Amino acid sequence: MQTWIEVPDGSPFPVTNVPYGIVSRGGGRPHVAVAIGDHVLSLAAAAGTGLLDDALRDPELGVVHRDVFDAPSLNGFLALGRPLWTAVRSRLTELLTDPSYEGALRPALVPRAEVRTHLPVEVADYVDFYCFEEHASNVGRIFRPEQAPLLPNWKRLPVGYHGRAGTIVVSGTDVVRPCGQRLVGGDPVYGSSLRLDIEAEVGFVVGTPTRLGQRVPTVDFADHVFGAVLVNDWSARDIQAFEYVPLGPFLGKSFATSVSAWVVPLEALAAARTPVPAQDPVPAGYLRPAGDAYALSLAVQWNGTTVSRPPFADMYWTAAQQLAHLTVNGATLRTGDLYASGTVSGPRPNSGCFLELTWGGRDPVTLDDGSTRTFLVDGDTVTITATAPGADGTTIGFGEVTGRILPAT
């Protein structure tokens, strides 16, 4: 596929990707755009031309949802559901590849460098899973050395918990080192976290809601999930270690969770689908069939040094299984729900968190500037990127989720 927009070689945003985000320019209103090459196409402006009318026509109501992109979040568009998501994507592909539309759409194109990106989704509930065996085992070994590393429930169901939706921020937001209580020589001390960490994850964005009591079988995954983002679930390990028994992580996580600015639609990930790793024992019926794994290649940069390439395709429970589990008790989904994979980790050094990478701080890593690190130092920047096979032999990217650590206040 060729687009009439110049796309630099190696751009994460070829025409086979076309991820959605929220942008503003100057003092203008935040609105929906898609990223292509070094540009963004304002969908608010594009819809204003009428060229998206057919794709935005509601099959039941007949109305055209032309205003859905003139909004500060994707939620209105997410609520329209799979048929319209697919119709809009098909139409955008047509518009971006047929040069006869350039004249009409050129005014809606803006260099990406000239826009500010905003949180793409108003997050309803945020769930964080724990679906990488390497991570769950390593955390077990480090936090609970006296027990078996993997707990009995782990291969029976996708273990997860609710995180704080209100502190999800867009990539680029600074992260202030949190304060809380941690143990020093067995006694709790209040102060700033000394073991500030990342968790490199992939998150899935729910568009189509359910009613209370409705389960989502794994085969219905794509009816409800719109697309995927990168997630950095910043974690204060010392605060977490003291607080988390028996009700799970709380303040050790709730100070900030960063997500990438661009939501990659599921269709763009079709070429990245790959067989699921073996699941043994056979999962419960509501977790079958497993659905697809995705061959995403993540990279974690610490102050510019790539310290890890966590293997997302190794995820034990698929995103479809996570969703089926989340709803098997009848819990509703709402438009804007976000659920994340848990830390993407393979054998060291391809760990998705520094707790594992440095084995609890025992084994420092050396950055390209010669400095060493165990946990995050004030001023450090962490950037997580990901690529995936796209259609037509292309490679697509997620952009990045990045954040810099500011001192505690």
Residues catalogued as catalytic: 135
Please indicate if the annotation marks 70 as binding a ligand: no
Q: What contacts 306, CB < 8 A, 6 or more positions away?
A: 299, 300
Angle at 91 between CA 86 and CA 96, to 5 degrees: 125
Q: Tell which positions 221-260 bind a copy of itself, by CB under 8 A.
A: 236, 239, 242-252, 254-256
Q: For residue 331, what are its two tokens?
A: 């819990």
Contact 300, 306 (CB under 8 A): yes
Determine if 106 is a binding residue for a copy of itself (CB under 8 A). no
Q: For residue 393, what are its two tokens?
A: 């032999």
Stretch that binds a copy of itself, among 26-34, 80-88, 327-335, 367-375 (CB under 8 A): 327-335
Closer residue to a copy of itself, CB minimum distance, 257 or 350:
257
Contact 191, 309 (CB under 8 A): no
Binding mask 358-387 vs a copy of itself (x if CB under 8 A, - otherwise)? ------------------------------
Rg (CA), the chain: 21
Stretch that binds a copy of itself, among 53-61, 140-148, 258-266, 394-402 (CB under 8 A): 140-148
Determine if 144 is a binding residue for a copy of itself (CB under 8 A). yes
Determine if 279 is a binding residue for a copy of itself (CB under 8 A). no
Determine if 329 is a binding residue for a copy of itself (CB under 8 A). yes
**To the nearest whole angstrom, how small is the minimum distance from the Cβ of residue 128 to a copy of itself?**
8
Taken in order 36, 384, 343, 172, the sign of the CA dihedral is negative
3-state helix, strand, coil in the chain (%, to 5): 25, 30, 50
**To the nearest whole angstrom, how small is the minimum distance from the Cβ of residue 134 to a copy of itself?**
16
From edge to edge, which strands make up the β-sheet containing 20-24? 109-111, 39-42, 31-36, 20-24, 116-118
Please indicate if the annotation marks 199 as binding a ligand: yes
Choose, by CB under 8 A, the member of 28, 99, 213, 275 that binds a copy of itself: 213
Choose, by CB under 8 A, the member of 133, 292, 337, 380 that binds a copy of itself: 337
CA distance 376 to 28: 35
**To the nearest whole angstrom, how small is the minimum distance from the Cβ of residue 308 to a copy of itself?**
23
CA distance 66 to 87: 14
Closer residue to a copy of itself, CB minimum distance, 157 or 295:
157
**To the nearest whole angstrom, how small is the minimum distance from the Cβ of residue 209 to a copy of itself?**
9
**To the nearest whole angstrom, how small is the minimum distance from the Cβ of residue 106 to a copy of itself?**
38
Q: For residue 132, what are its two tokens?
A: 């990488």
**To the nearest whole angstrom, how small is the minimum distance from the Cβ of residue 13 to a copy of itself?**
29
Give exposure, 320-351, as e/b (b: 16+ Cβ within 10 Å): bbbbbbbbeeebebbbbbbbbbbbbbbeebbb
Q: Which residues bind a copy of itself (CB under 8 A)?
A: 124-125, 127-128, 130, 139-140, 143-144, 151, 153, 156-157, 159-167, 169, 176, 178-181, 188, 190, 212-213, 236, 239, 242-252, 254-256, 284-286, 325-326, 328-334, 337, 409
List residues forming the annotated binding site: 128, 130, 144, 199, 201, 233, 240, 244, 253, 257, 343
